[in-house]
């Protein structure tokens, strides 16, 4: 699969959900670009693969129809033969239910979510999102997690580099939002300068201390609340087990942050920011530099 094929398939899955909806909503794209980094792996290995994330807000319908649109998306996807990726049935008694599903056999993940507009009135805005499987960028025959990465691909960045300070500042704010301690740096974590066809980026990866399942979910939820309050574009990405991962894009930069519960019991954080961009005004306290 390549980038365009992934985008086309993601758009097809979205329109399968929306095509027969009543009332018919208007699709409003969420986020600037659909292609981003693959979610980091549990073994902390470097992975230069990409993934497509396509998301739309369903507008132009009354807020009270949001739950109905989520139900219709679920029914349309079931009609296509797609499956739930969680064991429990959706709690439709909740004012804001969420549906997590996946396709087969190509394994695209999607969700239908209602965002809160007026909790007292039970009004919200429905959104649909699709995440592709990971794929290799053009010109790559193997992911760097399969064969050792080129030493030139992961250089140690300078401590006084503006992008380094920016990445550490974002990590620091995420650390404060998680409200849990960080773990010693694991193999594959820390700071690196990653170079690929799109240019150079500073990447900062770190993990929290191991947490019970409920505390991991709560920490990821706190990170999501932080991103939303700070104006980041936020996506929840379903995971095979545990709470959904959070992928957020900074509104004024091309910085991407990922927060995900790991099977090791930790919460993993990765911040990737372009090597050229606005300097951070507040370096803050780096988390697990």
pLDDT in tens, 87-99: 556 777 776 778 8
Give the residue among 253, 46, 23, 7 at the shortest CA–CA distance from 150: 46
pLDDT, tens digit (0-9, with 9 covering 90-100), for 230-253: 889 888 877 665 677 888 988 888
Predicted structure pTM score: 0.55
Q: Mapped to the 3 state alphabet, what secondary structure does 64-123 carry?
A: HHHHHHHHHHHHHHHHCCCEECCCCCCCCCCCCCEEEEECCCCCCEEEEEEEEEECCCCE
Give Cα separations from 202 to 155, 194, 211, 215, 287 (angstroms).
Answer: 9, 6, 28, 29, 15
- Quick one: pLDDT band at residue 282, thresholds 50, 70, 90? very low
* 8 pLDDT tier (thresholds 50, 70, 90): very high
Residue 281 has pLDDT above 50, yes or no: no
| Percentage of the residues of the chain whose pLDDT score is greater than 90 | 22
Which helix (H) or strand (E) segment holds residue 248: the answer is: strand 245-249
β-partners of residue 280 are: none
Averaged pLDDT score across all residues of the chain: 79
Asked if residue 164 has pLDDT above 90, the reply is no
Residue tagged 């050792």 (tokens): 148
Give the number of residues written for the chain: 289
Of 24-28, 55-59, 80-84, 98-102, give the lowest mean pLDDT range.
Answer: 98-102
Predicted local distance difference test score (pLDDT) of residue 38: 75
The confidence score (pLDDT) of residue 147 equals 40
* CA–CA separation, 15 and 3 (whole Å): 18
Task: For the chain, give the percent of residues with pLDDT over 70.
Answer: 77
Three-state SS across 164-194? HHHHHHHHHHHHHHHCCCECCCCCCCEEEEE
Whose tokens are 């929840």? That residue is 236
Q: For residues 213 and 77, what is the distance between their CA atoms, to the nearest angstrom? A: 30
């Amino acid at each position: 699969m390549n980038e365009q094929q992934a985008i086309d398939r993601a758009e097809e899955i979205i329109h399968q959900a929306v095509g027969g909806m009543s009332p018919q909503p208007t699709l409003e794209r969420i986020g600037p670009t659909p292609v981003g980094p693959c979610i980091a792996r549990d073994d902390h290995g470097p992975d230069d693969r990409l993934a497509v994330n396509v998301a739309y807000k369903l507008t132009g319908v009354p807020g009270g129809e949001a739950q109905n649109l989520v139900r219709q998306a679920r029914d349309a996807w079931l009609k296509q033969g797609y499956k739930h990726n969680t064991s429990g049935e959706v709690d439709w008694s909740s004012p804001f239910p969420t549906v997590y599903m996946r396709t087969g056999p190509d394994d695209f993940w999607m969700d239908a979510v209602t965002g809160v507009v007026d909790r007292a009135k039970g009004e919200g805005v429905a959104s649909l999102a699709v995440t592709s499987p990971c794929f290799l960028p053009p010109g790559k025959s193997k992911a760097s997690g399969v064969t050792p990465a080129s030493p030139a691909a992961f250089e140690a960045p300078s401590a006084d580099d503006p992008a380094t300070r920016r990445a550490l500042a974002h990590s620091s704010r995420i650390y404060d939002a998680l409200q849990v301690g960080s773990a010693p740096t694991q193999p594959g974590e820390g700071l690196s300068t990653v170079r690929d066809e799109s240019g150079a980026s500073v990447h900062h990866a770190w993990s929290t201390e191991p947490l019970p399942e409920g505390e991991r979910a709560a920490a990821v939820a706190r990170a999501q609340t932080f991103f939303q309050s700070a104006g980041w574009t936020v996506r929840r990405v379903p995971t095979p087990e545990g709470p959904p991962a959070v992928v957020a894009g900074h509104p004024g930069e091309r910085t991407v942050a990922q927060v995900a519960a790991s099977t090791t019991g930790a919460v993993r954080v990765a911040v990737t920011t372009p090597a050229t961009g606005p300097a951070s005004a507040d370096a803050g306290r780096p988390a697990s530099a």
